Protein backbone atom coordinates (compact mmCIF):
# COMPACT_ATOMS: atom_id res chain seq x y z
CA UNK A 1 0.00 0.00 0.00
CA UNK A 2 1.17 3.48 -0.62
CA UNK A 3 1.41 4.62 2.98
CA UNK A 4 1.63 8.22 1.81
CA UNK A 5 -1.62 7.87 -0.12
CA UNK A 6 -3.34 6.52 2.99
CA UNK A 7 -1.74 9.17 5.19
CA UNK A 8 -3.06 11.85 2.82
CA UNK A 9 -6.54 10.30 2.95
CA UNK A 10 -6.49 10.18 6.77
CA UNK A 11 -5.24 13.78 6.99
CA UNK A 12 -8.61 14.95 5.61
CA UNK A 13 -10.08 13.68 8.87
CA UNK A 14 -7.16 14.70 11.15
CA UNK A 15 -6.43 11.00 11.75
CA UNK A 16 -3.02 10.54 10.12
CA UNK A 17 -1.46 9.90 13.54
CA UNK A 18 -3.65 6.78 13.91
CA UNK A 19 -1.64 4.84 11.29
CA UNK A 20 0.52 2.07 12.75
CA UNK A 21 3.76 1.17 10.97
CA UNK A 22 5.84 -1.84 11.92
CA UNK A 23 9.49 -2.79 11.55
CA UNK A 24 8.28 -6.21 10.39
CA UNK A 25 5.95 -7.09 7.52
CA UNK A 26 2.20 -7.01 8.12
CA UNK A 27 1.30 -8.02 4.55
CA UNK A 28 -0.74 -11.08 5.56
CA UNK A 29 -3.26 -11.73 8.32
CA UNK A 30 -0.76 -13.98 10.09
CA UNK A 31 2.05 -11.42 9.93
CA UNK A 32 -0.23 -8.56 11.02
CA UNK A 33 -1.55 -10.60 13.96
CA UNK A 34 1.99 -11.45 15.00
CA UNK A 35 3.09 -7.80 14.73
CA UNK A 36 0.12 -6.70 16.87
CA UNK A 37 0.24 -9.66 19.26
CA UNK A 38 -3.34 -10.75 18.64
CA UNK A 39 -5.31 -13.53 16.94
CA UNK A 40 -5.88 -13.50 13.18
CA UNK A 41 -9.63 -13.16 13.67
CA UNK A 42 -8.97 -9.70 15.19
CA UNK A 43 -7.34 -8.46 11.96
CA UNK A 44 -9.37 -6.91 9.15
CA UNK A 45 -8.31 -8.17 5.74
CA UNK A 46 -9.19 -6.51 2.46
CA UNK A 47 -9.85 -8.72 -0.57
CA UNK A 48 -9.87 -7.19 -4.05
CA UNK A 49 -12.16 -8.49 -6.77
CA UNK A 50 -12.70 -7.74 -10.45
CA UNK A 51 -16.25 -7.22 -11.70
CA UNK A 52 -16.33 -6.11 -15.34
CA UNK A 53 -12.93 -4.40 -15.00
CA UNK A 54 -14.08 -2.46 -11.94
CA UNK A 55 -12.63 -2.92 -8.49
CA UNK A 56 -14.61 -4.22 -5.55
CA UNK A 57 -13.11 -4.47 -2.08
CA UNK A 58 -14.56 -6.67 0.63
CA UNK A 59 -13.21 -6.12 4.14
CA UNK A 60 -13.62 -9.19 6.35
CA UNK A 61 -12.31 -10.61 9.60
CA UNK A 62 -8.92 -12.22 9.12
CA UNK A 63 -10.27 -15.74 9.56
CA UNK A 64 -13.35 -15.28 7.33
CA UNK A 65 -13.76 -16.81 3.89
CA UNK A 66 -15.78 -15.52 0.96
CA UNK A 67 -18.95 -17.56 0.46
CA UNK A 68 -19.07 -18.03 -3.32
CA UNK A 69 -22.85 -18.54 -3.43
CA UNK A 70 -23.49 -15.33 -1.48
CA UNK A 71 -20.97 -13.47 -3.61
CA UNK A 72 -22.69 -14.60 -6.81
CA UNK A 73 -26.13 -13.71 -5.42
CA UNK A 74 -24.94 -10.19 -4.57
CA UNK A 75 -22.79 -9.42 -7.62
CA UNK A 76 -24.37 -11.73 -10.25
CA UNK A 77 -20.99 -13.13 -11.25
CA UNK A 78 -18.41 -15.62 -10.05
CA UNK A 79 -15.84 -14.28 -7.56
CA UNK A 80 -12.66 -13.37 -9.44
CA UNK A 81 -9.81 -11.82 -7.48
CA UNK A 82 -7.73 -9.12 -9.09
CA UNK A 83 -4.25 -10.02 -10.26
CA UNK A 84 -1.35 -8.26 -8.52
CA UNK A 85 -1.00 -5.88 -11.48
CA UNK A 86 -4.76 -5.37 -11.60
CA UNK A 87 -4.96 -4.55 -7.90
CA UNK A 88 -2.29 -1.88 -8.17
CA UNK A 89 -3.85 -0.36 -11.28
CA UNK A 90 -7.56 -0.61 -10.46
CA UNK A 91 -7.54 -0.27 -6.66
CA UNK A 92 -4.48 1.91 -6.25
CA UNK A 93 -2.65 -0.32 -3.76
CA UNK A 94 -0.35 -3.28 -4.35
CA UNK A 95 -1.26 -6.80 -3.20
CA UNK A 96 -0.09 -7.24 0.39
CA UNK A 97 -0.99 -3.63 1.10
CA UNK A 98 -4.56 -3.35 -0.14
CA UNK A 99 -6.72 -1.39 2.28
CA UNK A 100 -10.06 0.41 1.95
CA UNK A 101 -8.52 3.87 2.45
CA UNK A 102 -7.15 6.12 -0.28
CA UNK A 103 -8.34 3.88 -3.10
CA UNK A 104 -8.92 5.00 -6.67
CA UNK A 105 -12.21 6.66 -7.52
CA UNK A 106 -15.02 4.27 -8.43
CA UNK A 107 -13.85 1.35 -6.27
CA UNK A 108 -16.81 -0.11 -4.36
CA UNK A 109 -16.10 -1.06 -0.75
CA UNK A 110 -18.13 -3.58 1.27
CA UNK A 111 -17.76 -4.39 4.96
CA UNK A 112 -18.51 -8.03 5.78
CA UNK A 113 -20.71 -8.81 8.75
CA UNK A 114 -17.86 -10.92 10.19
CA UNK A 115 -16.47 -7.63 11.49
Give buried/exposed letters for 28-42 (b at 16+ CB in 10 A, else e).
ebebbbbbeeeebee
What's the mean pLDDT in 37-55?
95
Question: What's the number of CA atoms in the CB half-sphere (13 Å) around residue 96?
Answer: 6
How high is the pLDDT of residue 97? 86
Q: What is the DSSP string of 19-73?
A: ----SS---SHHHHHHHHTS-GGGSEEEEEEEETTEEEEEEEETT----HHHHHH
**Model pLDDT for residues 47-77, shown as the tens digit of each residue:** 999 999 899 999 999 999 999 999 999 999 9
pTM, 2 dp: 0.89
Fold of 3-111: YbaK protein (3.90.960)
User: Percentage of the chain surpassing pLDDT 90?
Assistant: 80
By C-alpha distance, which of 7, 88, 9 is closest to 55?
Answer: 88
For residue range 3-24, what is the model confidence (pLDDT) as tens digits?
889 999 999 999 999 988 899 9
Q: What's the chain's average pLDDT? A: 93
pLDDT of residue 115: 87
Given this model, what pLDDT does residue 90 score?
95
pLDDT over threshold 70, residue 1 = no
Q: How many CB atoms lie within 10 A of CB 63?
A: 14
Average pLDDT over every residue of 82-101: 91
pLDDT given for residue 14 in this prediction: 96
Please state whether beta strands 108-111 and 54-61 pair in parallel, antiparallel, or not at all (unpaired).
Answer: parallel
87's CB contacts (< 8 A; 6+ apart) are 48, 55, 93, 94, 95, 98
Q: What share of the chain is helix, strand, coil (3-state, %, to 5)?
A: 35, 20, 50
Amino acid sequence: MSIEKVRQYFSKYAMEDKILQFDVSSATVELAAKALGCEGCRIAKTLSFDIDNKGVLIVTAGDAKIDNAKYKAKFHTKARMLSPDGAAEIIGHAVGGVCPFGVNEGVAIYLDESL
